[in-house]
C-alpha cells in the first residue's frame, strides 16, 4: 500500500506523526519506534514508496492509502489526487455534457474550470464579440477583441483540455446561464419544462448571484425565487421584466469577481455531476471583498414546481 497522493507526513513529537492536514481525514499516529517515524517521514520525498507494513492497516482503515498499482491521482485533472479521499469511486466526468450560455469573463471562467476538471463535452453559446472589457487574466486576450466569443472560448478550452469536445450537437446534462441584471422569467419556465438541471449566474452592477442549482422536481426553481422576491417587493415582476426585456450592453466584469463567481458556479456543476447536488442554495458575491454570502431558498407554496412529473409519451396529455 502507498499513501494517497498529496498527503503530507508531519512530525508531532517523540514517536508521533500526523498524516494529512485537512481535518476531514488527517490522523495522528503515535507509539512509533524511531525507525517507523523515519520511514513515514521518508514518504514525503518518495510518495510512491510502500507504507511500512506494520502501519498499513491503520492508515488503510482511515482511507489514506491506495493499492500499489492504483494510478488514482497520477493523471489530470489536478484535483484527481483528492478523489480517493472525497469519493467512493472516481467521478465519471468524461461522459458529461455541460452547456454554458453567456461567455463573458465569468462564463469563460466556468468553462475553463469545467474543462480543467475533466468534463468531456462543453457546449458554448454566445455569438457576441469579444470586447476590450472582456480581456483579462487567463481568458480573453487583446488579439481576441472583435472575434466571436464562442470561437475564442473554444480555443481557450483546447488550450486547457485538448480532449474536451466543443463542436457537438449533444443534449446537455446540465446548463449554466450567465445573465445580466436578472434571469428571464419566461426562460426560467422553459428550462424547468425541459427537465435539464440548470444553474443561473446573474451579474449586477457590483455583485454576482450564483445559483441556486435547479434540479427539476427537487427543490426550488427560479420561478420560486421570483415569487419569494415578489412577496417582499410587489414591484419585482415589473422590475424583472424591464431588466430582461431591455438589456443594456454588458458592463465590464471585475476579474476577481468573475474568478470567484465562476469558480462557485463550476463547483456547483461538478457536485451535481459527482452525484451530490446542493439545491436551494445560492451565493451573493459582492464587490469589493467578493466574500460569498450564502442564501437558502425553499419551494414557494404557490409555485407547484415539485409537483411536476414526466408523462410517458404513450399516455398522452395529463
Decide if pLDDT at 74 tops 60.
no
- Report field, pTM of the whole predicted structure over 0.75: yes
DSSP codes of every residue in 12-45: EETTEEEE-SSTTT-EEE-S--HHHHHHHHGGGT
pLDDT score, position 250:
63
pLDDT score, position 299:
92
Closest CA to 221 of 193, 242, 179, 262: 193
| Per-residue pLDDT reduced to its tens digit, 142-169 | 999 999 999 999 999 999 999 999 988 8
Decide if pLDDT at 10 tops 70.
yes
| Per-residue pLDDT reduced to its tens digit, 30-65 | 999 999 999 999 999 988 889 888 888 888 888 888
pLDDT score, position 288:
93
Q: When comparing pLDDT for 92 and 94, which is higher?
A: 94
Mean pLDDT, rounded, for 191-207 = 91
Mean pLDDT score of the chain, rounded to an integer? Answer: 87
| Per-residue pLDDT reduced to its tens digit, 204-232 | 989 999 999 999 888 899 999 999 999 99
**What is the spatial distance between Cα 144 and Cα 135, in angstroms, rounded to a whole number?**
8
**What is the spatial distance between Cα 96 and Cα 239, in angstroms, rounded to a whole number?**
36
Decide if pLDDT at 310 tops 60.
no
In the 8-state DSSP scheme, what is residue 165? B
> Where along the chain do its domains lie?
2-81, 97-307
Q: In the CATH hierarchy, which fold is given to the domain comprising 97-307?
A: Rossmann fold (3.40.50)
Mean pLDDT, rounded, for 254-264 = 94
**What is the spatial distance between Cα 85 and Cα 22, in angstroms, rounded to a whole number?**
10
List b or e across 150-183, with b for residues whose CB sees 16 or more CB atoms inside 10 angstroms. ebbbbebbeebbeebbbeeeeebbbbbbbbbbbb
Q: When comparing pLDDT for 141 and 66, which is higher?
A: 141
Question: Are residues 114 and 269 in contact, defined by beta-carbon separation less than 8 angstroms?
Answer: yes
User: Which triple of cell numbers denotes residue 282?
Assistant: 445560492
**What is the spatial distance between Cα 219 and Cα 224, in angstroms, rounded to a whole number?**
9
Cα-based distances in Å from 288 to 134, 178, 204, 206, 292: 19, 20, 13, 8, 11
Decide if pLDDT at 70 tops 70.
no
pLDDT score, position 17:
93
In sequence order, what E strands does the chain have?
A: 2-3, 9-13, 16-19, 27-29, 65-66, 97-101, 121-125, 174-180, 198-203, 207-210, 281-286, 293-296
pLDDT score, position 315:
43
Q: Is 143 helix (H, G, I), strand (E, B) or coil?
A: helix
Amino acid at each position: 500500500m502507498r499513501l494517497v497522493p498529496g498527503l503530507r507526513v508531519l512530525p508531532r513529537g517523540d514517536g508521533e506523526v500526523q498524516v494529512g492536514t485537512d481535518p476531514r481525514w488527517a490522523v495522528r499516529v503515535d507509539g512509533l519506534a524511531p525507525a517507523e517515524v523515519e520511514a513515514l517521514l521518508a514518504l514525503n520525498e518518495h510518495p510512491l514508496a510502500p507504507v511500512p507494513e506494520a502501519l498499513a492497516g491503520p492508515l488503510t482503515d482511515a482511507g489514506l492509502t491506495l493499492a500499489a498499482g492504483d494510478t488514482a491521482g497520477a493523471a489530470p485533472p489536478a484535483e484527481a489526487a483528492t478523489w480517493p479521499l472525497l469519493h467512493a469511486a472516481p467521478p465519471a466526468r468524461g461522459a458529461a455534457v455541460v452547456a454554458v450560455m453567456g461567455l463573458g469573463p465569468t462564463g469563460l471562467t466556468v468553462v475553463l474550470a469545467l474543462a480543467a476538471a475533466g468534463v468531456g463535452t462543453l457546449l458554448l453559446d454566445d455569438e457576441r464579440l469579444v470586447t476590450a472589457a472582456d480581456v483579462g487574466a487567463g481568458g480573453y486576450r487583446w488579439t481576441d477583441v472583435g472575434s466571436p466569443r464562442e470561437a475564442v472560448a473554444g480555443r481557450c478550452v483546447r488550450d486547457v483540455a485538448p480532449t474536451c469536445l466543443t463542436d457537438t450537437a449533444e443534449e446537455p446534462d446540465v446548463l449554466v446561464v450567465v445573465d445580466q441584471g436578472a434571469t428571464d422569467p419566461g426562460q426560467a419556465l422553459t428550462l424547468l419544462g425541459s427537465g435539464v438541471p440548470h444553474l443561473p449566474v446573474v451579474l449586477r452592477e457590483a455583485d454576482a448571484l450564483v445559483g441556486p442549482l435547479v434540479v427539476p422536481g427537487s427543490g426550488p426553481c427560479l420561478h420560486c425565487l421570483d415569487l419569494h422576491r415578489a412577496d417582499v417587493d410587489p414591484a419585482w415582476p415589473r422590475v424583472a421584466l424591464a431588466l430582461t426585456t431591455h438589456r443594456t450592453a454588458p458592463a465590464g466584469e471585475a476579474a476577481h469577481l468573475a474568478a470567484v463567481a465562476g469558480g462557485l458556479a463550476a463547483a456547483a456543476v461538478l457536485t451535481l455531476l459527482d452525484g451530490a447536488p446542493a439545491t436551494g442554495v445560492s451565493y451573493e458575491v459582492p464587490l469589493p471583498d467578493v466574500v460569498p454570502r450564502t442564501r437558502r431558498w425553499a419551494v414557494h407554496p404557490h409555485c407547484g414546481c415539485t409537483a411536476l412529473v414526466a408523462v410517458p409519451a404513450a399516455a398522452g396529455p395529463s
